[in-house]
Amino acid sequence: MVERTLAIIKPDAVSKKFTGKIIDMIENHGFNIIRMQKLRMAPEHGQAFYAVHKERPFFGELVEFITSGPVVVMALEKENAIKDWRTLMGATNPAQADAGTVRKLYAESIGKNAVHGSDAPETAQEEIKFFFHDL
């Protein structure tokens, strides 16, 4: 089934100039980039995006990091886009990520982990709408 998912290239990867390399991996794995925007999230924007994690001990750190510099936000489309983008990203903790994944190649820690991907169809729809209101 053709699906859409939200991908974010996070501030660590953007500042290290990995944007092009990550987009290349995305396109080489058959995803279509439906929309793409580079932006800097405001603190309220970061808090709202990660609201599901607001009770976690690392919430403050998470929002501070995602708002620390520009991100590149993309709506991706392909068959099984949600699962396939998560597979291509690799494990949340780069120390546990498989060889050849984005996080193995470009992430430095569980917090500064280079990329984000939606985890389920409902969250994918919500997260895409959060950035691209008309999708």
Cα angle 70, 10, 52 (rounded to 5 degrees) comes to 110
Q: How far is the CB of 35 from ligand CMP (least distance, A)?
A: 19
Site string for ligand CMP, 60-79 (x = CB under 6 A): -xx-----------------
Q: Which is nearer to ligand CMP, 31 or 118 (CB)?
A: 118
Give the span between the Cα atoms of 107 and 115, in whole angstroms. 8
Interaction with ligand CMP in 112-131: which residues (CB under 6 A)?
Answer: 113, 116
CB 133 within 8 A of CB 76: no
What letter does residue 104 receive in the DSSP assignment?
H
Q: How far is the CB of 65 from ligand CMP (least distance, A)?
A: 8
- Interaction between residue 58 and ligand CMP (CB under 6 A): yes
- Interaction between residue 110 and ligand CMP (CB under 6 A): yes
- Tell me if residue 45 is catalytic: no
Residue listed under structure tokens 């053709």: 2
Q: Strand 2-9 vs strand 71-79: parallel, antiparallel, or unpaired?
A: antiparallel
DSSP for 80-99 reads THHHHHHHHH--SSGGGPPT
- Residue range at the interface with ligand CMP (CB under 6 A); choices 12-20, 36-44, 110-118, 120-128: 110-118
Contacting residues toward ligand CMP, per CB under 6 A: 53, 58, 61-62, 92, 110-111, 113, 116
